[in-house]
Amino acid sequence: MPQQPSPHLTETKLVLSDPTALGVFGLAMVTFVAASQKMGWTTGVTYLIPWALFLGSLAQIWASTIDFRKNNYFGAIVLGAYGLFWVAVAMHWATSLGWFGKIADNADPKQLAFACIGYSIFSVFIMIAAFEANKVFAAILVLINILLPALAISILTKGTPLGELSHQAAAWSELFISLLGFYAAGAVFLNSYFGRSLLPLGQPMGWIRKGPAQPKA
């Protein structure tokens, strides 16, 4: 009995572009707008909410999902974590403005401070990894680890000299995060588009080697 020819299998591979520039731009944009309020250049948080939701949240989470599919562990976790942070912050602002109805008498806005503390703990781990990514990302994470504790302290000590000092630290660190973020987004975009390094991001620190530990001699 003649054998039937086996059907040819065709494998289709979906190639996805690097989403890092989009995610970092989202972070840069939302921190730039938010810094304008902290610096006193603008007032209120009502018009910060769209930027938090669409740039801080949607852009970073979208980039995170692509990085998950590309098996880019660093980008997937970092962009996803901070994207979700801005979703929560936007909801906090919207709730405080009464968008979802009357605020309960026992509502305590200081809970945001503890959220910042929690994120600052995780950001220390992200910062260690960022040192082995490139120097610009490392600098951004150092500033984030100034911003988050400063925000927490400013919320918990609002109306005191320490609260004002912490507010200023948060404002300046957030501004510099945005400026470095714009540079990083532009550098990643141009370097990826032209296929060579036009704008340097800096080499990894080289303090911690990736992979299994070296066996002892």
pLDDT digits (tens, 9 = 90+) for 42-86: 999 999 999 999 999 999 999 999 999 999 999 999 999 999 999
Asked if 130 contacts 140 with a C-beta cutoff of 8 angstroms, the reply is yes
Mean pLDDT of the 143-158 span: 97
pLDDT > 60? residue 88: yes
Tell me the average pLDDT of the chain: 92
pLDDT at 32: 98
* Range of weakest confidence among 28-42, 95-109, 136-150, 172-186: 95-109
pLDDT at 216: 66
pLDDT at 178: 98
pLDDT at 2: 58
Q: Which two tokens mark 165?
A: 């000092």
pLDDT at 210: 81
* Range of weakest confidence among 2-11, 38-47, 91-100, 181-190: 2-11
pLDDT at 3: 61
Give burial (CB, 10 Å; 0-12/13-18/19+) of 188: buried
pLDDT > 60? residue 36: yes
Q: Which two tokens mark 39?
A: 């610096």
pLDDT > 60? residue 175: yes
pTM score, two decimals?
A: 0.89
pLDDT > 60? residue 10: no
Compute the distance between CA of residue 211 and CA of residue 213 in angstroms, rounded to an integer.
7
Domains and CATH numbers, the chain: 20-99+109-194 (1.25.40)
